[in-house]
Structure 1
Amino acid sequence: MGSNISEKGFIDMLVKRFPEIKEEVFDEDYEGLLTLQVGCFKRFTQEAINNNDFQRVSASFEFVNELIDQVTAKVENALYISYLGHLTISKGSKVEKMLPGKLKEAYGDIHKHNPSKSQNSKLNKFLEDL
């Protein structure tokens, strides 16, 4: 583990790197709720995936890959569960090939163990909030 970047530190770095989601991330309903803030980033990345915006996808993956070993356990958990766990990436796609090694492995592990995850979003949301 590196310098253990805090939740606040991570969110500050996130909005600095991706200012287009700053307003949503700092929405009063999300403020201080890390999983919801990471969820904003997930939607941002998913939109890029859906639009074949490979530059934005790459920037998002690089950001997570760069920080995943430097953040606190809580932030790391949010990145694995709320970010990687909820991204929809087609098997064998260009986007899947863009995942850096560590993230590709984690994404594969998450989705192998939980293939039904994306089927019931209300249930997933409930479980996430526990």
Structure 2
Amino acid sequence: MSHDMTQIDWTTVCQIDEIVPNTGVCALVGGEQVAVFRLGDGALFAIDNIDPNSGASVLSRGLLGSLGERVVVASPIYKQHFDLRSGECLEAPEHGVRAWQVRREGDAIQVRRGDR
């Protein structure tokens, strides 16, 4: 098992069975709210939880779906779609959110701040 310095950058936010497939949860990482999503196929995504269009902390409660090749979440407030891979807002790209890196380690879900 390697013990590289990047290990400390990852934060365990929950266990895999705490996220119902095709839903999201909100986690606090370094004082920031992160929406963590688990798709039915097991894929994991994480983006900022605060909807930049309303200022509300609601993206983790949005509806998951796809638009073409994009996996998206629709904000519960104004229904804008956010790409789960990039954080881009499809209707208003200037209102995108940050995408976070996410991984599964055993049964733990871990996130790390993205480069954006």
Question: When the two structures are superposed, what TM-score results if normalisation uses the length of structure 2?
Answer: 0.27
Question: When the two structures are superposed, what TM-score results if normalisation uses the length of structure 1?
Answer: 0.26
Structure with higher strand content: 2
Structure with higher helix content: 1
